[in-house]
Each structure stands twice: as structure tokens, then as C-alpha cells.
Chain A
Amino acid sequence: MKRVACILALLCMLTPLAANSEGYYYTLSLSLFPYLSIPHYQDDIPMRTAAGGEVSIGALGYRKSRYDLSLELRYRGTTASISHGFYRARGFDSVGVDLRFAYQLKEQLALFTALGTEVNYYRNVDSVFASFSAALGAEFLLSYNPSYRLSLTIPLTIHLRKEITAIQTAVGLRYQYFPKGGGP
């Protein structure tokens, strides 16, 4: 676990140093989402509702023409669900990595997809689980100049846990910084 985290952190630190192409960028994304978890086991209710927030940082981004590809480290915090009956879903923290691809449809609109995996830690109960995530969404360009882009993102994410499939519908902001001025 520690070894994987160290390798990822090192990659993120070193790669931009070699980013002499104008298409390389750093990115910071923030989003908030409701988290709807559908259990694979029989529960008292069909779905439990929680909420969460996500922060992604990326130093392995490259943008050229209409295409955009990045590798990002992500932290996601999900609250415990609303209590119902005698149970509630546990809240958890996740640390993972995403590979993200975006295609610009129009000047201000892009579609993106992301695939990722993460390790999730149930708060306080010393318990962890691995999972995978897949996201599809739209990105609306709010502001830009040659050195940065700021976009509003609306991803729909499917969180694939072993015993639960969860749907996240987020609203977020994505800031891309082009050290060599490779913006639009």
C-alpha cells in the first residue's frame, strides 16, 4: 500500500519537470455529490443515500487539439447514509487513481470519461475494501486564457464495490494550469 502510494506520488512529482510540450498541464478538481448506494444483498430499503466530496490532483495531463488525457490522484470522502430503521451505511474515505479522457465537442463543451480504482477506509472501524469507479460526464468551460482553463464539470460516476453499486452525480470545478501556456 505504502509502496504503491510512493510510486504514484513520485510519478506525479517528476513527470511535469519534463513537461516541455505546451500541451502538458497540472490540474485540480473539486466536486460535491449525492451518493446513492444500491446493495447487492437484501436490505430493508432498495437504496441508501449519503453525500460526499472529492478532490483530484493531476500532474500527468496532456491536451492537444480536441483531446485531453490525464492521470489523477483522488481523495473522496463519503458520509454515513441517512439513518433508516435500525441501520445506516457506514461512511468512508477513499484514495485512488483515475485515468481521464476528454473530447471537446464545441468550444465550451466537452465530454469526458474516467476509469479508476481506489482503496476505501471505513472511518473509525479499521476496515478497508478495494473498489473500481467509472465516470462519464460533461465539462463546461467557464473561463480560460493561454495558461489556464476553468470548467464546470457534471460527472455521473458508478462506484463498483463488491457488495454495493453506487451512483454519484456530482457538480464540480476543474482548474487546469498549463505551465508552458498551452491553453486554448
Chain B
Amino acid sequence: MMRRALILLTTILLSLLLFSCELFMKEPQAGKVYGIFVALDYDGLNQTILKGTIPDAVEQNKAFAALADGKYEGYLFVQKKDGIIDQTTINGTTIELYPTVENIEDAITALSGITTSNDLVLFTFSGHARVGTIAMAPMAGDGIVEYDVSQLLDLFSTVKGRKLIILDACKTGLAVPIDPASSSTLLENSIATWYRKYFDNDRSVKGDLFIMSSSANTDSYETTFGGKPHGVFTYALLQALGWDVDQGKMSKATPPAATGKRLTVDGLFSYIKMHQAFPIKRTLFNLLDEFQHPMVNGGALDMILFTF
């Protein structure tokens, strides 16, 4: 009796493994990679000048282009020293490559007409930010235009494909939408909140838009690496991608942040936390006054960016 029951239960247990959907269902093929890289040094815009932002955007564009292996379109919206504004064409729309809200919105709208659900769309921003907004250039004159990140995310929701938004600017973690089912330990560190969230009525949807921020709720810093200025977050990100800033090429065939031949958002995030030059916040013992702790959106899923 006991032996029969044991055999029956073991059989049930093993047969459950055969239900593994991943082994039987066809996987979609990766499509093209599109990147919009936005950076401002704020020269002439009456703001503190940032030296690392434009090199950040330039190097990220090169690194992602190398990873995409030919299936790539990258658009660099940066302030140029010579003041010349280049133009590009996306889906028949001519767009000025200058980091204003209007140009960025035109580029995203144009992209929404050409991307497919198998594509990967990247957006990076390096510059100044305030709570919930990023500082863009005005169409004319000096000063800045504060662009609401939620407006940017709404616009990206019209673009097909996986989207990864990378924000290297102060306090941009506060612009990351709150997940209905999980809580950030950096911003909602209370067990009562975690249980309250379990019972509230907000429901999760499968998101194809991931946001990675350089700093949850503190300032973001830049420094020099081998004489080259970069944001500390973006420099670690470039390393995670396998990009050698000094050599200007990929240092390895597979990025160091990849695991099991897959590069995921969580893999990048975890690598950055381990290798960032500036200290991160320790969850239990926060002995440091100054830190810069990156943040990524919560939820049950991790997004795969590249497969090798």
C-alpha cells in the first residue's frame, strides 16, 4: 500500500515537470534594435555643466550597436560644441538630432510606425533631473525645459517591442512607476505596505517597458575614468555590456553581465550594483552618508535583451 502510494506520488511529481511550457512552445526570433540616446552638457543653458553625459551617450550608442551585430539603428540627440544640428530620417520623418522635447517626441512617434513586437527599443538619458522630470534643451534661447518622465513613458507605450529606458540623472528612481504587486525596498520599506499591497485592487499586467535608473532617490554622480569623464552608473553599464571605453570596442565576445548566454535587464542591474565606482546603499546596514543606489522596476518578470 505504502509502496504503491509512493510510486504514484513520485510519478505525479515527475510528470509535472513535463508540463514545462518553455520546452515545447516556439520562441519568437529577436528583431532589430533601435536606440535613442539623449545627452546634454548644458553648456549655454544656465545650468551646472556636466562633462560625462555626452561621452556616456556616444559610448552607449557604440556598445549597443556592437551587441546588435548589424541589426541596429541608433540616434544620438546631443548638444554639440560646434552648435551644428544634424538631421536624420525615421520612417520618412525628418528629425533634428538636438535634445529638445519636440525632437525626442517626434523620433519616438516615428519609431512607433516601424517597430515590431520582436524589436528592442532603447532610450537613454544623461543629464540633469528633478523629481519626476528630466531637463531637456529649449527649442530656442537658454534655460531648460522640464520633461515629465511619465509623459515619456506614455509615449513609449505606443511603440511596439521591448523597451528599455535608462536614466542616468539625479533621483530618477522616483520616476519609475510603482509595481502593483511588489515594493522597492529603497522606497517602500515597510512590511505593512507589502501586505497591504497584496490585498489592494491594483492588478499587474505584463509590461514590455523596463526602466533602469542610476539613482533611486539620491543624486547621481560623474567622475573621470582613465582621464575620460563618465557618469559612474553609465560607466558601470558600459562595463556590463562588455564595452572597453579606452579601446573603443567590445572587450569580450559575451558581456560580463550575461548569464547562460543571455543578457537581461536584471543581469545588467546586478553587475552595475557590484561594479559601480561610487558606493551603493547597503540594505541592512547603511553606514555611508553618501551613496548612489540604482533602481529598476519591480514585477515578476526579467527582460532578455540579447542572446548569444
Contact = CB atoms under 8 A, between A and B. Distances in A.
Given A124-B270, A162-B181, A88 B197 contact: no
A42 B182 CA distance: 18
Given A126-B185, A130-B198, A169-B16, A90 B300 contact: yes
Residue among A41, A44, A46 having the largest count of chain B Cβ atoms under 10 Å: A41
A80 interface: yes
Contacts of B206: 39, 41-44, 87
B13 interface: yes
Interface in B253-274: 260, 262, 264, 266, 269-270, 273
A128 B13 CA distance: 29
B278 interface: no
A40 B16 contact: no
A109 interface: yes
Contact of A129 (B2, B13, B182, B273): B182
B16 A34 contact: yes
Contact of B302 (A47, A89, A170): A89
Contacts of B19: 36, 47, 49
Nearest to B25: A45
Contacts, number: 164
Nearest to B183: A128
A163 B162 contact: no
A124 B260 contact: no
Nearest to A154: B9
A46 B21 contact: yes
Interface string B176-202: 000111111110011100110110000
A85 B185 contact: no
A124 B273 contact: yes
B298 A88 contact: no
A171 B16 CA distance: 13
Contact of A90 (B190, B260, B302): B302
B70 to A, nearest CB: 19
Given A41-B205, A140-B6, A154-B13, A127 B298 contact: yes
Contact of A119 (B5, B28, B191, B304): B191
A180 B190 CA distance: 41
A34 B273 CA distance: 30
B301 A34 contact: no
A21 interface: no
A41 B191 contact: no
Interface residues of A, number: 54
A45 B10 CA distance: 26
Size category, B interface: 35 or more
Nearest to B281: A126
A15 interface: no
Interface string A36-60: 1101111111111100000000000
A140 B2 contact: yes
B204 A130 contact: no
Contacts of A170: 13
A48 B19 CA distance: 9
A88 B25 CA distance: 14
A84 interface: yes
Given A85-B28, A129-B182, A162-B197, A122 B298 contact: yes
Contacts of A123: 270
Contact of A131 (B10, B16, B198, B273): B198
Given A86-B30, A121-B185, A125-B270, 17 more contacts: A1-B189, A37-B300, A42-B205, A49-B21, A49-B23, A86-B118, A87-B301, A88-B302, A109-B1, A109-B2, A122-B182, A127-B184, A128-B185, A130-B191, A130-B195, A140-B6, A171-B10
Interface of B: 1-2, 5-6, 9-10, 12-13, 16-17, 19-23, 25, 27-28, 30, 118, 162, 179-186, 189-191, 194-195, 197-198, 203-206, 260, 262, 264, 266, 269-270, 273, 283, 293, 295-296, 298-304
Interface of A: 1, 4, 34, 36-37, 39-49, 80-90, 106, 108-109, 119, 121-131, 138, 140, 152, 154, 161-164, 167, 169-171
23 contacts: A4-B191, A39-B206, A41-B203, A41-B204, A44-B25, A47-B20, A49-B22, A80-B302, A82-B22, A83-B304, A84-B21, A86-B304, A87-B206, A109-B2, A109-B5, A122-B182, A125-B266, A126-B186, A126-B283, A127-B184, A128-B182, A129-B182, A162-B198
